[in-house]
Amino acid sequence: MSDWDKHTERAKKAFEELRDDICAEFEAIEREAGSDASFNYSPWERVEEGNENPGGGVRGVMKGKVFEKVGVNVSTVHGNFAPEFAASVNGASAENPGFTATGISLVAHMANPHVPAVHMNTRFLTTGKAWFGGGADLNPPIPYNEDTADFHAAFRAACAAHNPTYYERFSKWADEYFYIPHRQCHRGVGGIFYDHLECDDDPSFERNFAFTRDVGRTFLQIFPQIVRRRMESAFDDEDRQRQYEWRGRYAEFNLVYDRGTLFGLKTGGNIDAILMSLPPIATWN
């Protein structure tokens, strides 16, 4: 096993541990609401012709009283990009299309319109280069300044612990990335987004791995606080309609612009896992 294979295995285990902790916390919230909802886990295997070890993952989904639909996926895949897609991936090319990728991806759509939906993802890839990416962004149908401020403050602190430039860079990147050009609006109130934190050697791997783990742990710390703050708020049909229309915007972004959706489809990922980001109910008027 090469050093980079060992690094991939370490990242994979960290993402699986984060998944287990997040799912346990979300199930605890359901218990507090009087629900016995739990995650249902579905393993899947990737198929690639001529590849004896293409990898796969586990798709976890829960539908409950607080979480109308939440998916938490962990996957680790190995193989070759299609030549036309390889040119668009950092460190890959038609001549060198090989890759390994491991990551966790989470999207939560909430039952109460006053509770924000959320997305979180962290990942480690190796091609001709090796790098981490990820982030988290808050997507409230009905925004509250307190929730937005607390979410950003948590990630600002996480970034500051590693690099004083990270929060400004990565929050700006999130604002630019999570934008719907054809609607001329953002899909939420932002967060952080980063990619291509390259690992040239063991020290840079350790540094970027530590930051990426903190991103996941920060999400686990702050998002449940916001859920508990809002999950018993009263709402009416007008609030629900606002939520459904906002979900339509969310679906548009994920189907038209999201890199993760494209990456999954181009690399033979599990379709249900890729499209778990879509809301259970949305409307377009």
Place of tokens 């929060």: 167
In this prediction, residue 52 has a pLDDT band, given cuts at 50, 70 and 90, of confident
pLDDT at 2 over 90: no
Q: Is the Cβ–Cβ distance between 19 and 104 less than 8 Å? A: yes
Q: For 169, what's the count of Cα atoms within 13 Å in the CB-facing half-sphere?
A: 10
What is the per-residue pLDDT for 92? 80
Among the listed ranges 7-11, 90-94, 137-141, 211-215, which one has the minimum average pLDDT value? Answer: 90-94
Each domain of the chain, given as residue ranges in start order, spans 3-277
- pLDDT, tens only, 61-112: 999 999 999 999 999 999 888 887 878 888 888 778 889 999 999 999 999 9
Nearest to 149 by CA among 212, 194, 191, 118: 191
- The catalytic residue positions are 119
What is the per-residue pLDDT for 273? 85
Q: How far apart are the first and last CA of the chain?
A: 54
Inter-helix orientation angle 145-160/202-230, to 10°: 160
pLDDT at 179 over 60: yes
Task: Report the sign of the C-alpha dihedral through residues 121, 261, 142, 169, in that order.
Answer: positive
CATH number of this structure's domain 3-277:
3.40.1500.10
- pLDDT, tens only, 189-242: 999 999 999 999 999 999 999 999 999 999 999 999 999 999 999 999 999 999
